[in-house]
Amino acid sequence: MYLLIILLPLLNSIIVGFFGRYLGKEGSSYISCLILFLTSILAWVAFIEIGLYGSDCYIEITPWIVCDYLVINWSFLFDSLTVVMLIIISSISCLVHTYSTAYMKFDPHKPRFMSYLSLFTFFMFLLVTADNFVQMFIGWEGVGLVSYLLISFWYTRLNANQSAIKAILVNKVGDIGLCLAMFLIFHTFKSLEYEVIFSLVAYKINSGSHLLNNNLNVITLISIFLFIGAVGKSAQLGLHTWLPDAMEGPTPVSALIHAATMVTAGVFLLVRCSPILEFSENILVCVSIIGALTCFFAATIGGFQYDLKKVIAFSTTSQLGYMVFILGISKYNVSMFHLANHAFFKALLFLSAGSVIHSLGDEQDMRRMGGINQILPYTYSVIFIASLSLVGFPFLTGFFSKDLILELAYVSKYSNITAIQSTFIYWLGTLSVFFTAYYSFRLLFLTFLNKSNSPRIIMQGVHEGSWFLLVPLLILAFGSIFFGYLFKDLFIGFGTEFWKNSIFFHPVTVTLIEVETIPTYVKLIPLLLSVTAIIIACLVNTSAKKVIVHLQLSMIGRKITFFFNKKWFLDKLFNTFLVFPLAKFGYSITLINLDRGLIEFIGPLGLANVLKRYANNLIQIQSGQLVHYIFFIVIAFFVLLNINVVFSLLSFQKLFESSLWIILFCTFIYTFLI
């Protein structure tokens, strides 16, 4: 059954991918839905068996690479952490498959689309179920690959292709980090299997490793590289630029890959490597600060975007920031809980945004939407639920993880973080709550509640999609409301035994009790801020509209708006100072001056020129005059004599007498040179 979870999506991908033309659009859709439904049922059964009954499962298939120390097996590890990821991936994937059957109804390449989606699910399963780094890396690269294929699914669009290249290249930077981490891990622990590594970490805390002549702590180095890997995949600040651009793909892709699953792979990696991270405290500080910065950065940008999907994409980046900064203060289970919750409400947000885009004739600009809450009440209600859940409105799913994250960030006493760091990340996180609420309700107002800005001909055709489109939204809406409440005690309850050995907590970092002792007003701050933000969003879009427009058109307001709308100019910065100089370097230095220049000069071209010149000189010697030849012979004769004399004087006699041919050869060369 456990292997079936992994293999069914692969099977589906192969069937639909290779035989899609025989199955047709309908056939491939039904088969995909059926198989993915079966997969998700099996995943939930696995969750019950492993998560609730506590029977971890380990399946070893066959050795893969066996070479001295290096032993890598094809083997699968199903523990609590894995099954949490399994149920998220399989549920979201199943719903997205169902949704796609309606959403991509008129697309001519639907079987290919379904095949890619299933392939993605397979790689994601491979990533989470692996029991060694190499097997995990296959899944890690696989999701990157399928991400590329899916973003450029409409391969005739230039933007889609460019975004796909950007996504895979930026991901590659992180992949290099992960590769380096793997090399270092193998160098240190002589193994790549999780169980071996994690049980040996404690013995290697103080051992160093030589890098660039510096003796650095090896655990710290490994953590740095692992974190670079996670930064690439989970779109943290610095390598975040691919995620908003990845919205060029179809909306179900954004929902599946760039909201719920692939971007969480980085978080999953860090949680999986919790035994390593726990022993490198200074890196954890770094993780939490970068996470908090990402969180704030993306939240501020989200409020100034006009593309419906980009708003949600930045929201994803912001929420990933929450997950990462709570990792930085060692609350891995809270991070996983937020990951699970986030998957539900973000998939819902994306799918309902897709529903809006679909019904408005593929319009993504929010300035040309509005006034469809009466026509699309169903989509409106589910997107409202998702927004409230995202904001962290009490008793919805988001509340249980997000507010806990903020409270945990506040607690610095009895924990491994300093007061300054705690204040820093707490306030960044809390401010992000404000912006999150603002952009969520701005999105609602612009798309649903404001007066319509769409052309009449489009407004006439607005209608809800078919049942295949709506049922996934309903299920996800239930998830967004109830999932947090139902699974709260299991994931983050006091002394929960759910995680068992899959997550390692250093004893000094357990501060879940301290959370209950913080003052009540601190607990209320996020809620108050989000309510304020909602009120501001209302005012901006209703009564105070003219004031805001006036403010925005003023000199400073225009600049601020532009600054946030252009993503803090980070894309511009990267392009100007990194991409273009590198491309220029690649063209002018390495291509023109090195490859076509120096190497050609000392290589084929130069050799050809030199040979030509020497050949001409030799031709000059071959004059045909008998006298000249005789002259050379005589000269050579004397030179030969002289060489013998010189060598014997230098007492090389024995050496050169024994090897007469060298003398002859030298004579020959010398003859030609004169």
- Interacting residues with other proteins (CB under 8 A): 618-627, 630-631, 634
Residue 532 or 623: the one with the smaller Cβ distance to other proteins is 623
288 DSSP 8-state letter: H
Distant-in-sequence, close-in-space partners of 175: CB < 8 Å, separation ≥ 6: 140, 141, 144, 229, 232
Residue 282 or 623: the one with the smaller Cβ distance to other proteins is 623
Distance CA 507, CA 278 (A): 10
What SS3 class is residue 193?
strand
The least distance separating other proteins from the CB of residue 602, rounded to whole angstroms, comes to: 29
Distant-in-sequence, close-in-space partners of 62: CB < 8 Å, separation ≥ 6: 73, 74
The least distance separating other proteins from the CB of residue 671, rounded to whole angstroms, comes to: 15
Residue 18 or 629: the one with the smaller Cβ distance to other proteins is 629
Residue 585 or 631: the one with the smaller Cβ distance to other proteins is 631
Residue 633 or 650: the one with the smaller Cβ distance to other proteins is 633
What does the chain come to in residues? 674
Partnered with residue 130 across adjacent β-strands are 76
The least distance separating other proteins from the CB of residue 613, rounded to whole angstroms, comes to: 15
Please state the separation of Cα 191 from the chain's center in Å: 25
The least distance separating other proteins from the CB of residue 629, rounded to whole angstroms, comes to: 10
Distance CA 575, CA 93 (A): 34
Could you write out the three-class secondary structure of 542-556? CCCHHHHHHHHHCHH
Could you write out the three-class secondary structure of 482-530? HHHHHHHHHHHCCCCCCCCCCCCCCHHHCCCCHHHHCCHHHHHHHHHHH
Residue 628 or 654: the one with the smaller Cβ distance to other proteins is 628
Query: Do 512 and 404 meet the contact criterion of CB atoms below 8 Å apart?
Result: no
Residue 413 or 628: the one with the smaller Cβ distance to other proteins is 628
Q: Rounded to whole angstroms, what are the CA distances from 668 to 243, 350, 558, 633, 644?
A: 69, 81, 83, 10, 14
Give the helix/strand (H/E) hosting 628: helix 626-649
- Which position has the token pair 């199955």? 23
The least distance separating other proteins from the CB of residue 630, rounded to whole angstroms, comes to: 5
Q: Rounded to 10 degrees, what is the CA torsion of 636, 637, 640, 646?
A: -110
CA atoms within 13 A on the CB side of 95: 28
Residue 457 or 626: the one with the smaller Cβ distance to other proteins is 626
The least distance separating other proteins from the CB of residue 611, rounded to whole angstroms, comes to: 16
The least distance separating other proteins from the CB of residue 657, rounded to whole angstroms, comes to: 23
Distance CA 100, CA 418 (A): 47
The least distance separating other proteins from the CB of residue 610, rounded to whole angstroms, comes to: 19
Q: Which long-range contacts (CB under 8 A, 24 or more apart) does 570-578 make?
A: 570/240, 570/241, 571/241, 574/241
Residue 619 or 669: the one with the smaller Cβ distance to other proteins is 619
The least distance separating other proteins from the CB of residue 622, rounded to whole angstroms, comes to: 3
Distance CA 470, CA 33 (A): 15
Task: State the greatest distance between any 2 C-alpha atoms of the chain, in Å, as a whole number.
Answer: 113
The least distance separating other proteins from the CB of residue 674, rounded to whole angstroms, comes to: 15
Distance CA 622, CA 600 (A): 31
Residue 539 or 634: the one with the smaller Cβ distance to other proteins is 634
Phi-psi region at 370: left, alpha or beta (left = phi > 0; alpha = psi -120 to 50): left
The least distance separating other proteins from the CB of residue 627, rounded to whole angstroms, comes to: 6
Residue 486 or 630: the one with the smaller Cβ distance to other proteins is 630
Residue 457 or 627: the one with the smaller Cβ distance to other proteins is 627
Query: Do 511 and 415 meet the contact criterion of CB atoms below 8 Å apart?
Result: yes
> Which amino acid belongs to residue 157?
R
The least distance separating other proteins from the CB of residue 620, rounded to whole angstroms, comes to: 8
Residue 538 or 639: the one with the smaller Cβ distance to other proteins is 639
Phi-psi region at 7: left, alpha or beta (left = phi > 0; alpha = psi -120 to 50): alpha
The least distance separating other proteins from the CB of residue 625, rounded to whole angstroms, comes to: 5
The least distance separating other proteins from the CB of residue 672, rounded to whole angstroms, comes to: 13
Residue 212 or 619: the one with the smaller Cβ distance to other proteins is 619
> Which amino acid belongs to residue 1?
M
What SS3 class is residue 71?
strand
